[in-house]
Structure formats: structure tokens, C-alpha cells
Amino acid sequence: MKNSFIYCILFGLLSATSMAGSNSFAKPDLFDLLDGKNYVSVTISLNLDSLINNRYNEDKIGGTFVFKSAAGKNLSFSVNINLRGKYRRRMCGFPPLKLNFNKSELNANGLSKADEYKLVTHCLEGEEGDVNMVKEFLAYQLYQQISPLSYRSKLLKITYQDTKSDNKIVGMAILLEDKSSFEKRHNLSEMKDTFNLHRSNFDDNNFRTHGLFQYLIGNVDWSTAISKNMDIYQSKENGKMYIVPYDFDFSGFVNVSYAVPNKDYNQKKIRDRLLLEADESDSLYQSEIQKFIALKPSFIDLIKKQKGLEMEVKIDLEGYINSFYDKIGSGLTRSFN
């Protein structure tokens, strides 16, 4: 029954995901089935004690991933869950997760074999944690406006249901697309264990665009030297490398209560902006700056339309984005005194 129903939903999805210039259809990912007006409601059933009490254990925990289709029918997939991350894994009340679905089950349901997904989970419980997640989701949406080399993301409201009791935890989360789907879409290959890559290895436009985006949202919690909070891909066509960022909770834009200024850069306040890894003059950033200026109305519109945020939060976010444009003409800040 489940298979036949999913095939019905996929009929429409397949036409939307056909490859240009190709006579074949690309199978949609599980990611493509997740559909909601403001967010997608999901229930993950698992042993919560095993998850919460074994933060440094790499063992996978079996569970089920259940959500409603666009037609309102429950869809259920088996999933293996393990913890990921460093800071949030150690410090947050609820750790970030990686979801690994069964490829055979996905294939049997007419889906692609894209099976591994990062789940950015709430660090703080309650309203504050939910608002932080929505703001971080907005940061992902901003970067999608700027660059096609960005991860697709979905905002989820997840009920983590304990399989051993009636206990449950509810929180907002961000699901990032499977990396293999991203690689196929852009003809790239992920680089593993990359350290201290020379600036010349990177595509100029991507490097500057990424740096300026991090400057826009006031984020200094990243590094190409150790691939911190980013994945690095290499083009199969020209060998150039490309940065795809993630994890923006320490940015001034998201402005979480647990973020602290970065002493390595003499940052005084979390909202102080600094352009990192920018040895080039401002003149070389002019093309990217003009693009950001043209995108300002889109950025503000995204903030205004985002559900799940009070008006005062939206006004604060708009003000922070506007402060980037107010100061951009005075030059880019590369160091703090």
C-alpha cells in the first residue's frame, strides 16, 4: 500500500525533476517529498536515552522517520541516526544529527538513493530554541539567493518520540540535502580532509561571494584552513575548488544567547563584522558587492515573509542587514583594533 501511494505522488514530482536535454527522468530524493506551507511536521521514533546519554558514541541508533505527504497520507521510512558536530554536540541540550536512510527501501519506493542527510537540531529548548532555528534557516535561504552553490534546506518541526516510554521532545530543525544530489547537480566532487589549501585553488567568484556572505551575516566561525563549518568541492571540469557553508548559529544575524565573541580576532561583540581570509583589496570585491546591493530587496522580503518570527525579531534582522549596506561604502573591515 505504501509503495503504490508513493508512486502516485512521484508522478507529478518526476515531471518537475526531469533533466534538461535528456529523454530520461531523474528520480526525486526523499528530500523532495517533504512539503509544508511554513514547515514540515515530522516524527522520529527512537530510543531517546541512547541518543542523549551517549554523546561521544559513534554507534547508530535505529528509528523511523514519519511525515505526511502533500496529500495528507502518512509516509514512514526506517532510518539510522548518529550524532555529528563538535560544539553543539558537546554543549547543546539536544545534539545535531545525521540521518542515514535505507537505499533499498528508498529505491523500492521510486526514490533516488540519496540517503544521508545532516539535521541541524535545536540547541536550546522552548521558544528561544525554535526562534534560533528559524533565524538560522533564514541564513540558509539568504545564501541560496546569492549562490547556486548552496545546500537546499527544509525547515522541520520534529517530534522525537521515545520508543521505550511516552516521553517526547519537540523542536524545530533544518534538514540539509544529501551531498550526492548536490554533487550531481553541479558536477562537483567533495574534497575530504582538506587542510591549508592555497587561495589560488579556489574559484575567485565563489571565494569572494562566500566571504562577503559571511560578512553580511556577521559570522567569523569558519575557516578554509581547517574546513570549519564548510564543505569544499572540486569541479570535474576545471579542477577549481568551491566552498559551500553551513552552521550559522554563531553569526550576528542568528545571534544566539550562547554565542561568544571570537577572541582570536579581537571581536568585542558577536555582531561585529569582520571579513576573513581577504588579502585582496576592496576593489576586487566590487562585482560581488554590486550583486549584494541588487539582492537587498530580496533579502528584506525573505525576512518579512518568514513565518515563525515575531515582528520585533524581524525588525531586528532587517536592521542588522541594513547596517551592512549602511557601512559597505566605507570599506570592508578586515581587523579589529
Which residues span the domain enclosing 102? 29-179
Tell me if 205 is assigned to some domain: yes
Residue 261 pLDDT > 70 = yes
Tell me if 305 is assigned to some domain: yes
Tell me if 4 is assigned to some domain: no
User: Do residue 92 and residue 46 come from a single domain?
Assistant: yes
Q: What is the mean pLDDT of residues 254-258?
A: 96
* Residues 124, 156: Cα–Cα separation, whole Å: 16
User: Do residue 156 and residue 222 come from a single domain?
Assistant: no
Tell me if 97 is assigned to some domain: yes
Domain boundary pick from 159, 179, 199 = 179
CB 191 within 8 A of CB 136: no
Least trusted range by pLDDT, from 49-58, 69-78, 179-188, 299-308: 49-58
Q: What is the mean pLDDT of residues 217-237?
A: 96
User: Do residue 172 and residue 267 come from a single domain?
Assistant: no
Cell of 112: 533516488
Q: What is the mean pLDDT of residues 232-241?
A: 97
DSSP 104-116: HHHHHTT--S--E
Cα 314 from chain centre: 20
pTM of the predicted protein model: 0.91
Backbone conformation region of residue 104, classed left if phi is above 0, alpha if psi is from -120 to 50, else beta: alpha
The residue written with cell numbers 500500500 in the block is: 1
Element (H, E) at 323: helix 311-327
Other CB atoms within 10 A of residue 36 CB: 15
Confidence band of 242 (pLDDT split at 50, 70, 90):
very high
Domain boundary pick from 179, 198, 227 = 179
Domain count, the chain: 2
User: Do residue 154 and residue 233 come from a single domain?
Assistant: no
Cα torsion for 300, 214, 177, 35, to the nearest 10°? -20
| pLDDT, position 85 | 76
Domain boundary pick from 179, 210, 242 = 179
User: Do residue 205 and residue 73 come from a single domain?
Assistant: no
Per-residue 3-state assignment (H helix, E strand, C coil) for 33-50: HCCCCCCEEEEEEECHHH
User: Do residue 201 and residue 166 come from a single domain?
Assistant: no
User: Do residue 253 and residue 295 come from a single domain?
Assistant: yes
Tell me if 319 is assigned to some domain: yes
Other CB atoms within 10 A of residue 254 CB: 24
| pLDDT, position 10 | 52
User: Do residue 247 and residue 114 come from a single domain?
Assistant: no
Tell me if 10 is assigned to some domain: no
Collapsed DSSP state (helix, strand, coil) of residue 135: helix
